[in-house]
Amino acid sequence: MREALKAAKAKGVTQASIAEKAGVSAQAVGQWPRSGKISNQNLAMLAQLSGKTIDWFYEEQEDSVPADLISETSPADYGKSASDNELTFTENMDPWDRSQPLADDEVELPLYREVALSGGGGRTQVVENNGAALRFKRSTLRSAGVSKEAAACAYVEGESMEPILPDGASVGVDTADKQIKNGKMYAIDHDGLLRVKFLYRLPGGGLRIRSANPDKFEHPDEDLDENWPEKVSIIGKVFWYSVLLH
């Protein structure tokens, strides 16, 4: 973290300007290297300003990454979709040989996916796919305080959540935690599309959907009015993620 701040300074970016972009005090920015506490959005912003990749933070500063938990392994392959979905749940994501029995500290978690509506003109709906599962450690669930019955997994597709969640990142979702806490990541069913986003409650009952990608021209905030529950269903809070380091 300290090296990232130095790199940003070398590019002419002051600590005060970083603080302004982050919405915190300059003193708070100075505390990042010592505390290791930085929000997902500010980590993405710092990566952009310093010229560092998100991989660098994982490799050199793993203890500063604000993910609740980081997986010890990453899947080597994942399913591809022809749709525009940002969060894809398919049967092609098994990162292990199903013929191998589960270890004592492992469970299989369900996956969600989209299915085309009959006569829907390309529209889809989100359903739980009981025919697919992902192997997961019981100890990870215990550490996160998530019950097996409430946990699910998925792979992220697309660049809207880069650099925090690059294309191919896997996420764990607590389907029992649907209460919105500003700035936290959630998996959502947005009118038939599976997405993973930062959510914010707005005055008057509205909802803000935010991408991590700093390119706000391509990935602007989406502000919905108080009727957002008619279009958006919260699947659950993201409690874990893992990325492939290249």
Spatial distance between the Cα atoms of 82 and 84, rounded to a whole number of angstroms = 7
For the chain, domains (ranges, CATH) are 2-64 (1.10.260), 87-242 (2.10.109.10)
| The residue type at 31 | Q
Check if the beta carbon of residue 129 is closer than 8 Å to that of residue 112.
yes
Spatial distance between the Cα atoms of 150 and 205, rounded to a whole number of angstroms = 27
Check if the beta carbon of residue 53 is closer than 8 Å to that of residue 47.
yes
Residue 131 per-residue DSSP state:
E
- Note the pLDDT tens digit of each residue in 24-64: 787 778 777 766 667 666 777 787 788 776 556 655 544 33
- pTM, whole model, 2 decimals? 0.61
Spatial distance between the Cα atoms of 170 and 10, rounded to a whole number of angstroms = 34
The segment with the largest mean pLDDT, out of 60-69, 135-144, 197-206, 232-241, is 197-206
Spatial distance between the Cα atoms of 199 and 194, rounded to a whole number of angstroms = 14
- Note the pLDDT tens digit of each residue in 131-178: 556 777 888 888 889 998 898 887 777 889 888 888 777 788 999 999
Kindly list the distances between the CA atom of residue 81 and the CA atoms of 37, 149, 224, in Å, as whole numbers in the listed order: 35, 27, 27
Q: Rg for the chain (alpha carbons), in Å?
A: 19
